[in-house]
Structure formats: C-alpha cells, structure tokens
Amino acid sequence: MTYRELKSSIKSKGISIIDLKFVDIRGVWQHASLPVEEFDEDAVVTGIGFDGSSIKGFQEIHESDMVLIPDIDTARLDPFCTVATLSVICDVYDPVLKEAFSRDPRNVAKKADNYLKKSKIASESYWGPEAEFFLFRNFSFRTDPYHNSYILDSSEAHWNSGGTMEFNTGVTIRPKEGYFPVPPQDTLQDIRSEMVRIMVDWGIPVEMHHHEVAAPGQCEIDMRFDTLLNMTDRVLAYKYIVKNVAKKHNLVALFMPKPVFGDNGSGMHVHQSLWQGNKNLFFDERGYAELSKTALYYIGGLLTHIDALLAFCAPTTNSYRRLVPHYEAPVNVAFSKRNRSAAVRIPVYFSGPKNSKSKRVEFRPPDVACNPYLAFSAMLMAGIDGIKRKLDPVKLGLGPLDKNTYELPTEEARKVKSVPGSLNAVLDALEKDNKFLLDGGVFTKDLIDTWINMKRIEAHEVNIRPTPYEFYLYSDM
C-alpha cells in the first residue's frame, strides 16, 4: 500500500485518529495516538518520536529518544474505539544509529525471515499457532506482604454445581471434560463467534473455534497459517481482539499458561513448515509420517535446543505449572506422529501426495504468554541449525516415540528426557546454548542478556514470596 492509497482510505472512512502500536520486549502491545491531521507522509517516512526509557527492556534514561516508523500495510480499522480510529503497527528505530532497534521484537522476526531466505534452505516459512485462553466472569488478586490470594470464577466451573445462589441450574463442566461440549454446557459459543467475526474483518483468516479441555471457560480459536511476520503480528491482534470482546461482555480473558490447578493449562502449539516456492520441503511420501529428511533435521534442531528455546517459548514462572506430566502437557523431549504427549507431534489427519501441502511439524511446549516474535524466530533458528548440522532425531535417540509416554514402564520412562521444570533452569540453558540464535545477527547478545536479566528478576520475585499452599503444608510445624 502506498501513502497516497492509505490517505484516500482514511478520508473515505472518516478516520480521525491514527493509533500507533508497537510491541515491547515482553510481547505486549503499547500505543500512542495522533490526530489524523498530524499523520502526514513525513510521519510515515521519518517516524514519530517517543521515550524508549519508559518501555520495559528498551533503553536507559540517557539514551531514551526512539522513533516509531509505521508499517502502513498493517493499517486496520479499530473496532473497539468509539472515535473512528485506524490502528497501524510500527517498527522501532534508533535515531542515532539510524537503523532498526536491535531489541525491537518485530525487527528480530524480520531478521529471522531474511536469514532463512539467505541460507537458501527455503524461500518461506509458514506458521500456525493454536492459541488457547480462559474467559472468567470474576478475576481478582492481592499481593500484599500480609495477604497473597487470587480468585477465579466461571459459570461453567464444576465448583458452582452445588451453589446456593438463586436460579442455579447445576449445568457445569467436569474437570478435563471441556473439549467440544455443546450449549448449554458451552456458554461461550456466541462470544467466541463474535471474536471470530471481528478477527475476519481485521484480516485474520480463522479456521475453527471451540471450547477447550479445561472446564472453567477455556477456549481456542484457530487462525489459518501464514508467513512469519504476518503471523506474529496476528497473534498480537488476536489477543487484543479476545481481550476487548471479553471486556464488552463483562468477562476477563487470561492468557496465563496455568491459571487453574487440577485442570489443563493453556498452550500455544505452533505448527510450522518450510517451503521452496510452491513445494513443501517437509513432505516425503516415503518417510516416517510422510516427513522428509529436511523435516527430520528441523525437528532435530528443535529438540537439541529445546531447553534454551523454552526460555522464549515458555517464558514465565507460571509456564512450569503447565509443563508437568498429564494434563496433556508435552513434557517429553521426543517426536512422534499423532502423539500429544511428545514435544514434537506430526499431525496425521490425511495422507498422500494430494495432501502434501498440509505436512508440518507441531512444536507443543510453547504457551500463550510468550512473545511470538522472539519465540517463533528462536524456533526457526533452531530448525535451521538442525538442517545445517543434519541433526537426525532418530540417531539422537529422540524418537519416534509412538506410545503414551505417561504410561511407560519405569525403566523405559527413565530413558525419555523431560523438559526443564522451572524458568531459572531454561534461563541457565539459554546462557549456555545461544550461538544458534546469534547466527546472521538475528538475535544479539545484548537482547539475550536483557531477556535473561529481566526474567531472572521475575523468577526471583516469585520465589521469595510465600504461597497459600505453603501455609497449608507448614503452619502447624
């Protein structure tokens, strides 16, 4: 889109506010808005200044001046603003170096995409994340020195079946039985449908939506696959739409990986494939699960670097409440067809050359709290490293594992490696294993160090606070 075309569209739609959005290092949208009169061609070319020191993980106070450069191809009418507003995603630039800011996550995704193309391994990568979330009717928490608590509630929750409130019908969902029930058990059908229609209007193709396994309001909306940069932009738009539609209905959308104990957590299983023009490089009719050698090497890269990858793909302390055995959590470092207990699953819905375009690998440990720009870029870099080094997961003893790994005999289970059990453990791994991320300057040492330091602080602050369950265990000691 040219600036002239955008200006014509702004005029025809009566736009009066331009909302400039950019992503911080955590993976959260930030924004500032301009009157349409201030959004001229100079603003598009030279950018709009802002204070980078006020954005967590960006700049220090003595180097705070930063610039936002709008990507006008991302312009979308914002459906949640009363005043006609155009939303535009921006790239962050350093005005002194006159180049894209190395800590801008969107810049990292662009560099990863360029690195793939320059490698000649593939011309494009495609991504299809399955982002899960919870919708609660009540959510509150306190973190005072003398009072730590949280309360979550959903009308679907089994704990409300015996409630004494007026008009209680007892129509709820049992734990782990939330997958595909029809209304009245599924109370969120119309709300998800509303989210889907707004996503489609935004320009996000949606394949399906449904209730997920966890009983109290867990949902999933599946976006159609797309290229790396497009999909990472769409994940942020997806969250924005879900949260705002939820608020409209007096609900709160939570993208925490494990908000409810005793039920399934929310993951973001990421489907990915490499293409050369119109050819899917992951398909080979003769291979295991119709996988090519390229796909196997890509899997080898993911599994070889899995501990370090999780520092970006499962980047919160709460992520490791989800990554525990059972609850369909992919804790086993192995690959397999159809097996949801393995870290890498090969979907097998259809087979044969006619369905070669659908062949892909699904990396299951990531969750919805990740920064998709950093997580997807890290996965791609690990896969490329696997292809370059020909890391065959079969020869590495990482599968295929076509068994329910939760029910293996003890001796056999001991041979299957599990993912690390804490945020600090994966940060340790990232400190030791990050060379594959630095190739081609995609990630920088500065960005990795900034990420590790920020996440160490988060882990420390969680670790030093008592939890209610500790009082349950130890108050009578």
Predicted confidence band of residue 260 (pLDDT cuts 50, 70, 90): very high
Concerning whether 269 is annotated as a catalytic residue, the answer is: yes
323 and 410: one domain?
yes
Statement: residue 169 has pLDDT above 80? no
Question: 239 in a domain, yes or no?
Answer: yes
Predicted confidence band of residue 19 (pLDDT cuts 50, 70, 90): very high
136 and 96: one domain?
no
Q: Which domain holds residue 71?
A: 3-101
Statement: residue 168 has pLDDT above 80? no
Tokens of 134: 């919870």
Statement: residue 325 has pLDDT above 90? no
At residue 266, the pLDDT reads: 97
Total domains in the chain come to 2
Concerning whether 41 is annotated as a catalytic residue, the answer is: no
185 and 60: one domain?
no
Per residue in 364-399, pLDDT tens? 999 999 999 999 999 999 999 999 999 999 999 998
257 and 152: one domain?
yes
Q: Which of 269, 271, 305, 360 is catalytic?
A: 269
Statement: residue 18 has pLDDT above 80? yes
Question: 116 in a domain, yes or no?
Answer: no
Q: Which of 307, 364, 367, 385 is catalytic?
A: 364
CATH number assigned to the domain comprising residue 382: 3.30.590.10
257 and 397: one domain?
yes
Question: 61 in a domain, yes or no?
Answer: yes
57 and 177: one domain?
no
Q: Which of 19, 94, 113, 130 is catalytic?
A: 130
Predicted confidence band of residue 329 (pLDDT cuts 50, 70, 90): confident
Concerning whether 166 is annotated as a catalytic residue, the answer is: no
Per residue in 61-103, pLDDT tens? 888 899 999 999 999 999 999 999 999 999 999 999 999 999 9
Q: Which of 91, 220, 263, 307 is catalytic?
A: 220
135 and 191: one domain?
yes
At residue 165, the pLDDT reads: 63
Question: 81 in a domain, yes or no?
Answer: yes
Concerning whether 362 is annotated as a catalytic residue, the answer is: yes
Concerning whether 212 is annotated as a catalytic residue, the answer is: yes
CATH number assigned to the domain comprising residue 56: 3.10.20.70
Concerning whether 412 is annotated as a catalytic residue, the answer is: no
Domain boundary among 68, 101, 134: 101
Q: Which of 233, 362, 367, 385 is catalytic?
A: 362
Concerning whether 63 is annotated as a catalytic residue, the answer is: no
Concerning whether 51 is annotated as a catalytic residue, the answer is: yes
**Average pLDDT in the chain:** 94
79 and 147: one domain?
no
At residue 164, the pLDDT reads: 65
